[in-house]
Chain A
Amino acid sequence: MSVIEARFGARDAKLSGAVEMIHGAGGRATAELIRTLFRRHLDNPLLAQGNDQAAFAVEAGRMVMTTDAHVIAPLFFPGGDIGSLAVHGTINDVAMAGARPLYLSAAFVLEEGFPLADLDRIVASMAAASRAAGVPIVTGDTKVVEKGKGDGVFITTTGIGVVPEGVEISGDRARPGDVVLLSGSIGDHGIAVLSKRENLTFETEILSDSAALHTLVAEMVAAVPGIRVLRDPTRGGLGATLNEIAQQSRVGIRLEEAAIPIKPDVSAACELLGLDPLYIANEGKLIAIAPPDKAQLLLAAMRAHPLARDAAIIGEATQDPHAFVQMRTRFGGNRMVDWLAGDPLPRIC
């Protein structure tokens, strides 16, 4: 009986036991872990070949490639877990070039002692996310580090995709006068995760918005091939992402606070903690920048998709040598939306 099967008992029984150093040693235990856990969930023809790489035919045109390391505490949060997040995050990074994602790879760094049952849940969740998105994980790697040298599990996913003919989307293409659109409410992911942090548990119904956005992007690109910029406002939130775009494109951005969708629960949690929702992470939202004459068409295409029903026009790009992001507040005044220094911190007084 193999090391893993000994812990599995029957094949479908709940996994028990924990990750051991031997699982990363490259011997039989590693192979068994791959066979009985990773390959069992992530099953697809390319992975089933059992090679150290996946070989596939390529299409003509431009390809995109991206990689993303996922570390998150807690590993399981309302609306997702590190597994689904690792799939969605990388699919979204591919999609933000207007590309159709093709394949993913996944590398796992496991900490000795990590419960196999949790790993099983995470890999099952990755498999479900990847299947739902139609983007298979075709190659991967696993390493084990000693207890205390990791944080349970780190997952790095890499994705590749193909850009449709005539689409050229890049963070440096915003022009003064362009319109800024947002696909839905901000802050859901960050607040859902924060609500389960060990030192900050609070009651909320908010779920992470973690989702794969490539089908939304496909609809958007089909409606308006001339979209200039797409980006998902993940870590650092809307504030940081808009600053990145402003810097890359050397334009200013003016926002209307009243137009930015935000759920009352998220707003309440931010008030309570003294956080600014503009800097809270999202994992299933995107920012689009398009020429003004295409804005309404794009907005309609977005609203027709289930992941962007609450899409809104939130501002415009302006001529500004300082590349400042500014906002007209709901209150009627003006403020900057600056980069955040360090992590968002609750206020003291």
Chain B
Amino acid sequence: MKFVDEFRDQALAMGLAAAIAREAVPARRYSIMEFCGGHTHAIFRYGVHDLMPENVGFVHGPGCPVCVLPIGRIDNALELAEEHGVILCSYGDMLRVPASKRRSLLKAKAEGADVRMVYSVDDALRIARGNPSREVVFFAIGFETTTPPTAVALRTAKAEGLKNFSVFCNHVLTPAALNHLLTAAGLDVDAFIGPSHVSSVIGSRPYEYFTETFHRPVVIAGFEPLDVMQAALMAIRQLNEGRAEVENQYIRVVTRDGNRKARTIVDEVFERREGFEWRGLGAVPDSALRIRDSYAAFDAEKRFSIVTRSAPDAKSCECAEILRGAKKPVDCKLFGKGCTPDSPVGSCMVSSEGACAAYWTYGRFRQEAA
């Protein structure tokens, strides 16, 4: 398929693999964190590991929207569906994430709650229009990529005067998470592969602060396997040359300023929260968005007086350490034993962008062979 196959071309991959093998100095280790779950997924799905030298390793970051949502917020969603009796609309992966007491939206649905999987926030709007006598709540999650569509939906709902639609906002911000990883979480990696879709919205400029402050290269990369390999090569070159710059491998989509129009709409509808709890990272200042007062009528948190209580992760679950890049999925005692994609204990085993699910689904043979 045009514009896809080119980015998965084996001959080009072999060429890049050879270049990486040439550039990577055998005496040193290169530890590169791919921030996004989309990159983790590509690395495992295409077997990028097999083309990398031993001393170049990937550390998986927290950029999986489903993974980083803390249990307390999923408990809130359950409360909306079960106690407030709303039609709760959510992206598919979110339905299977375990909440407190290993409950999930999928289990609530089986017990009679009206939980619906949607492909986009537009579907939620359509459901609201079609069910004027029911409250419809969109369970909004995601980084800067999914925020603009939610903002547009809120504007649409306001313009149409939809009385029964609201959003339970859980949108989070990438730069704050990166900052937290490098300061409070004490992450020790040499370089970053920066987000692809997120960067199409926010641009490459916000990462300049990190390269200047923390002296770690950031290479923004697309989600195709060749993108990941080329970005790794660019990061290795920076490290070899003692540079720490923001480089943009994903020039076919990302610019320095990103998508200004999208950001304008987001700013009109959302404002920063002072703090937000992330699974794995704990409370991170200025790391999430909430709905502005001018849209308060569409804010499910206000409409249903939602209070979020912090809830502990399941015992022995290492999602927190894994999301911080401090542990690998195989370091978790539950990996493949109590916790598999069929019966997940932690969020990282649910989403296709989660590191544990990627290891288990695509890479399990590596452990067995080892």
Asked if B197 is an interface residue, CB under 8 A from chain A, the answer is: yes
A-B contact count (CB 8 A): 115
Residues in A neighbouring B49, C-beta threshold 8 A = 333
Q: Name A's interface SS.
A: loop
Q: How far is the CA of A322 from the CA of B369 in the complex (A)?
A: 10
Contact of B4 among A271, A326, A329, A334 (CB under 8 A): A271
Q: Which A residue sits closest to B123, measured CB to CB?
A: A199
Query: How distant is B308 from chain A, measured CB to nearest CB, in Å?
Result: 21
Residue count of chain A within 8 Å CB distance of chain B:
31
Cβ–Cβ contact A348 & B50, under 8 A: no
Cβ–Cβ contact A345 & B340, under 8 A: no
Cβ–Cβ contact A267 & B46, under 8 A: no
Asked if A346 is an interface residue, CB under 8 A from chain B, the answer is: yes
Residues in B neighbouring A328, C-beta threshold 8 A = 47
Cβ–Cβ contact B8 & A335, under 8 A: no
Cβ–Cβ contact B38 & A324, under 8 A: no
Q: How far is the CA of A168 from the CA of B234 in the complex (A)?
A: 56
Residues in A neighbouring B198, C-beta threshold 8 A = 349
Q: How far is the CA of A326 from the CA of B47 in the complex (A)?
A: 11
Cβ–Cβ contact A334 & B353, under 8 A: no
Mask of B1-33 contacts with A, CB within 8 angstroms, 1/0 = 100110011100110010000000000000000
Residues in B neighbouring A276, C-beta threshold 8 A = 45
Cβ–Cβ contact B141 & A348, under 8 A: yes
Q: How far is the CA of A200 from the CA of B116 in the complex (A)?
A: 14
Cβ–Cβ contact A348 & B368, under 8 A: no
Cβ–Cβ contact A349 & B51, under 8 A: no
Asked if A3 is an interface residue, CB under 8 A from chain B, the answer is: no
Asked if A149 is an interface residue, CB under 8 A from chain B, the answer is: no
- Complex interface residues of chain B between 334 and 370 (CB less than 8 A to chain A): 340-342, 351-353, 360-365, 368
Of A178-186, A309-317, A336-344, the stretch lying at the interface with chain B is A336-344
Cβ–Cβ contact B365 & A326, under 8 A: yes
Asked if A26 is an interface residue, CB under 8 A from chain B, the answer is: no
Residues in B neighbouring A345, C-beta threshold 8 A = 91-93, 117, 352
Cβ–Cβ contact A267 & B340, under 8 A: no
Query: How distant is A323 from chain B, measured CB to nearest CB, in Å?
Result: 11
Q: How far is the CA of A274 from the CA of B119 in the complex (A)?
A: 11
Cβ–Cβ contact A333 & B46, under 8 A: yes
Q: How far is the CA of A94 from the CA of B103 in the complex (A)?
A: 41
Q: Which A residue sits closest to B50, measured CB to CB?
A: A333
Residues in A neighbouring B123, C-beta threshold 8 A = 199
Cβ–Cβ contact A341 & B340, under 8 A: yes
Cβ–Cβ contact A342 & B96, under 8 A: yes
Query: How distant is A315 from chain B, measured CB to nearest CB, in Å?
Result: 15
Cβ–Cβ contact A335 & B360, under 8 A: no
Residues in A neighbouring B38, C-beta threshold 8 A = 347, 349
Cβ–Cβ contact A267 & B47, under 8 A: no
Q: How far is the CA of A329 from the CA of B37 in the complex (A)?
A: 20
Contact of A322 among B48, B93, B143, B368 (CB under 8 A): B368
Cβ–Cβ contact A267 & B142, under 8 A: no
| Contact status of A335 and B63, CB under 8 A, knowing A200-B119, A271-B4 | no
Residues in A neighbouring B91, C-beta threshold 8 A = 345, 348
Mask of A297-335 contacts with B, CB within 8 angstroms, 1/0 = 000000000000000000000000010101011111111
Q: How far is the CA of A276 from the CA of B361 in the complex (A)?
A: 12
Q: Which A residue sits closest to B49, measured CB to CB?
A: A333
Contact of B10 among A274, A322, A332 (CB under 8 A): A332
Residues in B neighbouring A334, C-beta threshold 8 A = 47, 50, 365
| Contact status of A346 and B10, CB under 8 A, knowing A271-B4, A335-B47, A336-B363 | no
Q: How far is the CA of A66 from the CA of B161 in the complex (A)?
A: 55
Query: How distant is B56 from chain A, measured CB to nearest CB, in Å?
Result: 14
Residues in B neighbouring A335, C-beta threshold 8 A = 44-47, 362-363
Query: How distant is A305 from chain B, measured CB to nearest CB, in Å?
Result: 28
Cβ–Cβ contact A347 & B353, under 8 A: yes
Cβ–Cβ contact A271 & B1, under 8 A: yes
Residues in A neighbouring B50, C-beta threshold 8 A = 332-334
Q: Which A residue sits closest to B5, measured CB to CB?
A: A330
Q: Which A residue sits closest to B196, measured CB to CB?
A: A349
Asked if A264 is an interface residue, CB under 8 A from chain B, the answer is: yes
Q: How far is the CA of A276 from the CA of B198 in the complex (A)?
A: 23
Q: How far is the CA of A74 from the CA of B185 in the complex (A)?
A: 49
Residues in B neighbouring A326, C-beta threshold 8 A = 365
Asked if B259 is an interface residue, CB under 8 A from chain A, the answer is: no
Asked if A268 is an interface residue, CB under 8 A from chain B, the answer is: yes
Q: Which B residue sits closest to A331, measured CB to CB?
A: B46
Asked if B146 is an interface residue, CB under 8 A from chain A, the answer is: yes
Q: Which A residue sits closest to B106, measured CB to CB?
A: A342
Asked if B66 is an interface residue, CB under 8 A from chain A, the answer is: yes
| Contact status of A267 and B1, CB under 8 A, knowing A324-B368, A347-B352 | yes
Residues in B neighbouring A199, C-beta threshold 8 A = 118-119, 123, 126
Query: How distant is B105 from chain A, measured CB to nearest CB, in Å?
Result: 13
Asked if B225 is an interface residue, CB under 8 A from chain A, the answer is: yes
Cβ–Cβ contact B360 & A331, under 8 A: no
Cβ–Cβ contact A341 & B51, under 8 A: no
Cβ–Cβ contact B368 & A331, under 8 A: no
Cβ–Cβ contact B341 & A336, under 8 A: no
Cβ–Cβ contact A349 & B10, under 8 A: no
Residues in B neighbouring A200, C-beta threshold 8 A = 119
Cβ–Cβ contact B353 & A330, under 8 A: no
Mask of B31-74 contacts with A, CB within 8 angstroms, 1/0 = 00000111001001111111100000000000111100000000
Cβ–Cβ contact B142 & A348, under 8 A: yes
| Contact status of A267 and B361, CB under 8 A, knowing A324-B368, A335-B45, A349-B37 | no
Asked if B76 is an interface residue, CB under 8 A from chain A, the answer is: no
Contact of B51 among A264, A274, A333, A336 (CB under 8 A): A333
Contact of B365 among A267, A322, A329, A331 (CB under 8 A): A322
- 10 closest A-B pairs by beta carbon, nearest first, are A333-B47, A341-B341, A345-B92, A333-B50, A331-B46, A335-B362, A334-B47, A332-B10, A338-B361, A341-B342
Q: Show 17 A/B contacts (Cβ-Cβ < 8 Å), sorted by A.
A: A264-B1, A273-B119, A276-B45, A324-B364, A329-B46, A331-B47, A332-B10, A333-B225, A336-B365, A338-B361, A341-B340, A343-B92, A348-B65, A348-B141, A348-B142, A349-B63, A349-B64
Question: Given contacts A264-B1, A342-B341, could you give 16 more A-B pairs where the C-beta distance is less than 8 Å?
Answer: A199-B119, A268-B1, A276-B45, A322-B368, A328-B47, A331-B48, A332-B10, A333-B46, A335-B44, A336-B362, A342-B342, A345-B117, A346-B119, A348-B351, A349-B36, A349-B198
